[in-house]
Amino acid sequence: MTSDRATLRLEPAVMARVFIDGNRTRYPESPFLDLVVDGRSVRSLATQPADDFVTELNRPWLADVANTVDRFLGRRPDEDLAPGRIALLVCPMDGDLWCGQLTALLDIGAAEVSWSDFRWEDGYSDSRREERLDQPLVFDRAQYEAVFADAYRRVAAFAYDELAHRGRRFLWPWQWGWRLPPREGWPSPTE
C-alpha cells in the first residue's frame, strides 16, 4: 500500500466469541475501535487472516485504554515489544503477546507520524514480516493525534456486559443447584 499521506480513523467494531463455561454456552461480545486506514481496516490489509484479532482499544480492557492511547501517541513504551514498536492487532481473549500480535515501528516526527516494519510477533519465535504491508503508512501528525484524542471516551461509551464476558464465578459442585437423591435413613434436604 503506497500513499503520500494516509488517513486514519477509529471505527466501532465488535468481536463475538463462543465459550463453553461449565454447562453453559456464552456468547460474549468485545466492542472495540478498529484501525481504519484509507477506508480499509488494518485487519483486512494483513496477509494472515486477522479477522480474529482486535485492537487494544477494547471495552473489556478499559482500565488499560488510556495507556494504549499513550503508546499510539509515542508517550509510553510497550514493555512487551522492542523500543519504538506498537501493537496494532492483538488476541481478542487477553491481548497477550504469546497469542500473536501485528506490530509496527512507530515514528513520530514534527509534521508526520509513520508506521513501518510491520511484523507478526509472538514473544517466543522469530518475528515474521507482514508481506502485504510492505510500505510505511504515513499520517499527518495533527490528524493522527486528533483521531486518538477522544478514543478513551468512545471506548468507555460502548455497551458492555461484564458477566457475559467474564463468565460465572467459580462454583463448587454442591453450589450448582443439584442435590443428591435422598438415602434411606438420611433426612431429606427439606427437613
CA distance 51 to 112: 28
Which residues, given as ranges, of the chain have pLDDT below 70?
A: 1-3, 21-22, 26-27, 49, 161-191
DSSP state, 98? G
Q: Residue 56 in 3-state DSSP?
A: coil
Instruction: Show the domain range for 133.
Output: 8-169
**What local confidence, expressed as pLDDT, does residue 52 receive?**
82
**188 within domain boundaries:** no
**77 within domain boundaries:** yes
Q: Structural domain tally of the chain?
A: 1
**1 within domain boundaries:** no
Q: What is the pTM of this model?
A: 0.78
**27 within domain boundaries:** yes
Q: Which residue has the cell 463462543?
A: 18
What digits encode the pLDDT tens for the residues 50-92? 778 999 999 988 999 999 999 999 999 999 899 999 999 998 8
Which residue in 65, 1, 63, 66 sits closest to 38, CA to CA? Answer: 1
**What local confidence, expressed as pLDDT, does residue 122 receive?**
84
What digits encode the pLDDT tens for the residues 134-147? 899 999 999 999 99
**38 within domain boundaries:** yes
**178 within domain boundaries:** no
| Amino acid in the structure at residue 46 | A
**What local confidence, expressed as pLDDT, does residue 124 receive?**
82
CA distance 32 to 181: 48
**What local confidence, expressed as pLDDT, does residue 2 receive?**
43
**76 within domain boundaries:** yes
**186 within domain boundaries:** no
